[in-house]
Structure 1
Amino acid sequence: MKIDVNGSPREIDAANLAAALEQLGWGEARVATALNGRFVPVSARPGTPLSTGDRLEVLAAMQGG
């Protein structure tokens, strides 16, 4: 299915948010996620289904000053 990831179109075959993060290379990363503008906590990712056209934002904390 096609979804937007951080503003870029991507083709994935994951059925839920946790699987999508794994497929996209963020499986072990400590990131914040929003699906269609709504925050999704880590505990809810496996139960959050994806649909064609969804907009996924993945944010990682940055260190430095």
Structure 2
Amino acid sequence: MTAFFLNGQATKTACLNLLQLVQSLGLENKRFAVEYNEMIIPKSRLESTTISPQDRIEIIHAVGGG
């Protein structure tokens, strides 16, 4: 388990990379953006970006409505 910060909250995960984290959160086929240690990560690089202890990850996703 890796301990890191997700949206400001201390979190632990067995996920090895950002793609696995996004999938575990059920966001894979939704509109979202990932900030990893203050850098926006393109969706094409989610799988190659590993999660390390003390990383700061922010994930936002668009919610439809009116």
Q: Same fold (TM over 0.5)?
A: yes
Alpha-carbon deviation of 1:26? 2.3
Task: Tell me the secondary structure at the aligned position of residue 44 of structure 2.
Answer: helix
Q: Distance in 2 between matches of 1:58 and 1:52?
A: 17
- Write the distance in 2 (CA, Å) between the matches of 1:25 and 1:11: 17
**Ranges in structure 1 where 5+ consecutive residues have no aligned partner:** none
Runs (4 or more) in structure 1 with deviation over 2 Å come to: 24-29, 61-65
**TM-score normalized with structure 1 length:** 0.85
- Secondary structure in 1 aligned to 2:4? strand
The alignment of Structure 1 onto Structure 2 pairs a total of residues equal to 65
Instruction: Please tell me whether the aligned partners of residues 3 and 11 of structure 1 are also in contact (alpha carbons under 8 angstroms).
Output: yes
Distance 1:29 1:63, change over 3 A: closer
With normalisation by structure 2, the TM-score equals 0.84
Work out the CA distance in 2 between the residues paired with 1:38 and 1:62.
22
Q: Structure 2, unaligned stretches of length 5 or more? A: none
2:6 is matched with 5
Give the Å deviation of 1:28: 2.7
SS at match of 2:46: helix
| CA root-mean-square deviation | 1.5
1:3-58 deviation digits (Å, cap 9, x = unpaired): 11100111101111000111233233220001000000101101111101101000
Which residue pairs with 1:41 in the alignment? 42
